[in-house]
Amino acid sequence: MKNTRITLKDLAKELNLSASTISRALVNHPAISEATKKIVQKKADELGFIPNSIAASFRMKRTQTIGVIVPRIDIHFHSLVISGIEEFAYNNGYNVTIFQSKDSLKREKEIIKILQNKMVDGVIVCLGIETQNCDHFKKINKSGIPLVFYDRVPTDFDANKIVINDFESAYLATEHLIKNGCTTIGHISGSQTTNIFKARLEGFKAALKKHHLPIEESLILFTKNLTYEEGVACAEKYLESPLKLDGVFCANDYTAVSVIQVFRKAEIKIPEEIAIVGFSNYPISRIIEPHLTTINDRAFQMGEAATKLLIRQIEEKDDDIKSETITLKTELIVRESSSRN
Amino acid sequence: MKNTRITLKDLAKELNLSASTISRALVNHPAISEATKKIVQKKADELGFIPNSIAASFRMKRTQTIGVIVPRIDIHFHSLVISGIEEFAYNNGYNVTIFQSKDSLKREKEIIKILQNKMVDGVIVCLGIETQNCDHFKKINKSGIPLVFYDRVPTDFDANKIVINDFESAYLATEHLIKNGCTTIGHISGSQTTNIFKARLEGFKAALKKHHLPIEESLILFTKNLTYEEGVACAEKYLESPLKLDGVFCANDYTAVSVIQVFRKAEIKIPEEIAIVGFSNYPISRIIEPHLTTINDRAFQMGEAATKLLIRQIEEKDDDIKSETITLKTELIVRESSSRN
DNA sequence: CTGAAAGCGCTTACAG
DNA sequence: CTGAAAGCGCTTACAG
């Protein structure tokens, strides 16, 4: 059953050619005559030749493989990014090997080791929540393997990054609320140790300032992980607030959905009495009623852009480490939750 | 910058030992003395030795890699399965390489080729929608690479499969509606070329029959892909039906959510007037109001079980092809959408 | 308990 | 346009 695979040598013997010629013919080397190429290709098909790309990788020290490290693959955002990575990689002849760090620093370090053992050509990573220090990444980078970060990116060294313009997106979202007549606007934010949530908060404040609205600190609520449950708690706080708010900008869609539900249960009309904007354009945003205005965070494009940058660096000849930051444009998707006409 | 990696030979020279001994010491071979192992390990750490596992794979014809083919990675069900695969594989020393077939047969065949080139040790796959004929999989199987299917599995050959008991799950879900007093129950089904949806429909009918309720064909609606939008259309049909239905069992959660929303908009009380049950336990099921009763389809466990079975077959010595079907137990999660007490 | 030697299947610099 | 030869870094059967 386990038939031994045909090799270049077998093909060579069969055709009275050298293995070198077979090898070259199969990769369409310009020095080989068309006639020979045709003969070789035909024989290869005939005998069901399966090239051993492990042997080739070993020889060339190139695996055509990209390693990906995400906190968890079953978070929709990451699965969208990975989808973009796989798509772009596939179309450019690279394969993708996936690892979940589970937000564990220990595991992240183990994975880095495996990636080096396996000689991946490059690595795309979203840092785990525990990771404050990127020495393990610096090491792999110095060994000549290009690295691109997305979403949660390192601050302690100069790396390739794909990000979105969180500040401006938040600014835009907030301004949209203002333009729809909101004057007392709350914000539900995430952990301030994560840059993107800090930036969203800043953008929110900047928009208020710009439009001469007061920044009510009591309406800025902080959560740990922006979960649905935390969102419910925040919404309940808003209900108890002496300030009568008429708009909320949430740093993600889950919390926005909880706010919608809690307010509706309290018989508050959305968007008439309170307008809501979320962030990320999760599938639920166009299912929840009223449909949620949100920011398209371009997860798929993030994966594509990361892979494109990575492959360019893999295939570039020169060995200088340089780092680029690519900022993707987001988009405000206006739906009913904020549309007062 | 691109420092050349230390090899076994370098280590051997450094320690006045042979490469054989170094190799054995590093894998904890029993024939090597503890003293030697210690020395070797110390030196390896000191010089930052990174084993070249591509060389090892090449030599041993074993890559410790599992190939995974899914239609799309950004479908929540699949990302959950992959999460289970990655987790189990990681804990057992295997890596996971992911490919998306995008439901294209052509692409599926291309991927199979790549997988063979890359000499993965085994493959886990959910068939694409176009795939009626599994010859390409038979071929890779015959070449000695074990294969495990999940969710959409082949019917034209005897393969390893991980499935859930769709029939019984549907039976249970329907019986649950009956026990909550429903007598005129509809079903929203998926494509009948897909076995799981056929089985769910059969389970639905069996439960009605068992409880001596009539099977109203006009209340059994078929969709192509069980999308949210198709669900809306089905719900509207139900509203126009002369039969006054009081329960709906939906073959997935998306359609169940649309039914809830359409009915609520029509001022129908859920669950009092119509009770709803979905299938899959998607995150949205515990967000939508009322929360949706549904079937936990064990996606994560499916990934684990598939990987466990695959690894066992990879590591088994004997070359017989045998096929196992593992059926996972599902679970009915009762929530408000069907609870009439 | 340790070593010498062969070989896995490719690619490529060199030669012609 | 084609070939002979070396070598990538491991593992392992064999010998001692």
| D12 C1': nearest CA residue | B20
Mean pLDDT of A267-291: 95
What is the nearest nucleotide to B59, using C1' and CA? C8
3-state SS, residue B333 = strand
Mean pLDDT of A290-298: 97
Cross-chain residue pair B287–A284, CB shorter than 8 Å: yes
The b/e string for B282-300 (b: 16+ C-beta within 10 A; e otherwise) is bbbbebbbbbbbbbbbbbb
3-state SS, residue A44 = helix
Mean pLDDT of A119-148: 91
Q: Are A83 and A303 in contact (CB under 8 A)?
A: yes
Q: Are A76 and B76 in contact (CB under 8 A)?
A: yes
| C12 C1': nearest CA residue | A20
- C-alpha B197 chain-centroid distance: 16
Sequence-distant (≥ 6) Cβ neighbours of residue A45 within 8 angstroms: none
Q: Nearest C-alpha of chain A: how many angstroms from B251?
A: 18
Report which DSSP code applies to B191. -
Q: Residue with structure tokens 């085994």?
A: B122
Cross-chain residue pair A54–B58, CB shorter than 8 Å: yes
Cross-chain residue pair A119–B53, CB shorter than 8 Å: yes
pLDDT (tens digit per residue) in A76-113: 999 999 999 999 999 999 999 999 999 999 999 999 99
pLDDT (tens digit per residue) in A25-39: 998 888 888 888 999
- For A95, the closest chain B residue by CA position comes to B97
Report which DSSP code applies to A225. S
3-state SS, residue B269 = coil
List the Cα angle A74/B73/A297 in 5-degree steps. 70
Amino acid present at B339: S
Confidence of residue A3 (pLDDT cuts 50, 70, 90): low
- For B289, the closest chain A residue by CA position comes to A261
Residue B51: is the preceding peptide bond cis (ω within 30°)?
A: no
- Specify the pLDDT at position A33: 87
Tell me the CA–C1' distance in angstroms for A232 and C15.
77
Q: Nearest C-alpha of chain B: how many angstroms from A211?
A: 35
Tell me the CA–C1' distance in angstroms for B253 and C9.
51
Q: Are A203 and A167 in contact (CB under 8 A)?
A: yes
Assigned token pair, A162: 């794909």
Q: Identify the bridge partners of residue B65 per DSSP, sorted by sequence position.
A: B95
Of B68, B67, B87, which is closest to residue B304 (Cα–Cα)? B87
3-state SS, residue A275 = strand
Cross-chain residue pair B50–A99, CB shorter than 8 Å: no
- Specify the pLDDT at position A334: 98
HSE (side-chain half, CA atoms, 13 Å) at B308: 12
State the alpha helices, DSSP H only, in A185-284: 195-210, 228-240, 253-265
Q: Nearest C-alpha of chain A: how many angstroms from B89?
A: 10
HSE (side-chain half, CA atoms, 13 Å) at A37: 11
Cross-chain residue pair B90–A99, CB shorter than 8 Å: yes
Q: Are A285 and A311 in contact (CB under 8 A)?
A: no
Report which DSSP code applies to B144. T
Strand order in the sheet with A275-277: A220-222, A185-189, A247-250, A275-277
Cross-chain residue pair A97–B96, CB shorter than 8 Å: yes
Residue A154: is the preceding peptide bond cis (ω within 30°)?
A: no
Instruction: From residue B258, give the alpha-carbon distance in Å to each of A94, B263, B265, B284, B309.
Output: 40, 8, 11, 11, 37
Give the DSSP H or E segment for B109. helix B105-117
Q: Are B250 and B256 in contact (CB under 8 A)?
A: yes
Report which DSSP code applies to B63. -
Between A55-64, A205-214, A219-228, B152-161, the lowest mean confidence (pLDDT) is in B152-161
The b/e string for A86-109 (b: 16+ C-beta within 10 A; e otherwise) is bbbbbeeebbbbbbbbbbbbebbe
CA dihedral A304, A293, A197, A80 (to 10 degrees): -30
d(CA B55, CA B339): 60
**Closest partner residue to B97 among A97, A228, A257, by Cβ?**
A97
> For strand D, which nucleotides have at least one atom less than 7 Å from a protein CB?
1-13
d(CA A229, CA B338): 23
Assigned token pair, A31: 């020095």
What are the structural domains of chain B?
8-51 (no CATH), 63-164+299-328 (3.40.50.2300), 166-297 (3.40.50.2300)
Residue of B52, B95, B135 to mutate, testing the A interface (most A Cβ within 10 Å of its Cβ): B95
Q: Are B78 and B70 in contact (CB under 8 A)?
A: yes
Confidence of residue A321 (pLDDT cuts 50, 70, 90): low
Q: Are B278 and B285 in contact (CB under 8 A)?
A: yes
Tell me the CA–C1' distance in angstroms for A9 and C11.
13
Asked if residue A147 has pLDDT above 80, the reply is yes
Sequence-distant (≥ 6) Cβ neighbours of residue A19 within 8 angstroms: A8, A9, A11, A12
**Closest partner residue to A83 among B50, B73, B87, by Cβ?**
B73
- Specify the pLDDT at position A276: 98
Cross-chain residue pair B86–A73, CB shorter than 8 Å: yes
Strand B220-222 to A294-296 pairing:
unpaired
d(CA A333, CA A173): 9
Residue of B79, B102, B297, B307 to mutate, testing the A interface (most A Cβ within 10 Å of its Cβ): B79
Report which DSSP code applies to A156. S
- Specify the pLDDT at position B2: 46
Q: Are B111 and B99 in contact (CB under 8 A)?
A: yes
- Specify the pLDDT at position B320: 63
CA dihedral B125, B127, B133, B135 (to 10 degrees): -20
List the Cα angle B283/B276/B201 in 5-degree steps. 95
d(CA B334, CA B63): 44
d(CA B71, CA B127): 7
Residue of A1, A74, A145 to mutate, testing the B interface (most B Cβ within 10 Å of its Cβ): A74
Assigned token pair, A148: 């691109």
pLDDT (tens digit per residue) in A305-319: 999 999 999 998 665
- Specify the pLDDT at position B133: 86
- Specify the pLDDT at position A132: 84
d(CA A71, CA B262): 37
List chain B residues with pLDDT less than 50: 1-2
